[in-house]
Homo-oligomer: A and B are copies of this chain.
Amino acid sequence: MKTRKHSRQRDAVMNCLMARHDHPTADAVYLSVREEFPNVSLGTVYRNLNLLADSGEIRRLNCGHGPERFDGDTHPHYHFICRECGQVTDLPMDVLEQMNAEAQECCGGQIDNHITYFYGVCRECLDKAKE
């Protein structure tokens, strides 16, 4: 493990992700952090997001189209992505252990974690379409 010095900007990035649960993009995190540190740079936000993601303190989400998103909740859970509005919401589910066991057997290697995305249309967009 590499030595790491304390940084208030990194704290701010971490706090931002712990506080909001909408799976923000790097740019959205940048805008949040800027409220506290008006001079923070986008590069710094990216550097810290990568640092935190690589060390497992936050999670990176690749939701298909668009920029990467980040999740401060590292508990195993799933994500539902609406292809109309792009919203990403959490799905607590129970099939995790069975899946991991089966997958471990299939791949022969070692599984650290797994990420599942469900794509579809959220209730709000479904309702909107009916009107």
Contacts and interface: CB of A to CB of B under 8 A. Distances in A.
A26 interface: no
Interface in A92-130: 92-95, 98-100, 102-103, 106-123, 125-126
A94 B103 contact: no
A112 B120 contact: yes
A94 to B, nearest CB: 7
Given A64-B60, A116-B115, A107 B126 contact: no
Contacts of A15: none
A63 interface: yes
A80 B108 CA distance: 10
B118 A110 contact: no
A121 B107 CA distance: 9
Interface residues on A, range: 35 or more
19 contacts: A60-B64, A62-B63, A78-B103, A80-B106, A83-B112, A92-B106, A93-B99, A95-B99, A95-B102, A99-B99, A99-B116, A107-B120, A108-B123, A109-B125, A111-B119, A111-B120, A113-B118, A114-B118, A115-B117
Interface of A: 60, 62-64, 78, 80, 82-83, 89, 91-95, 98-100, 102-103, 106-123, 125-126
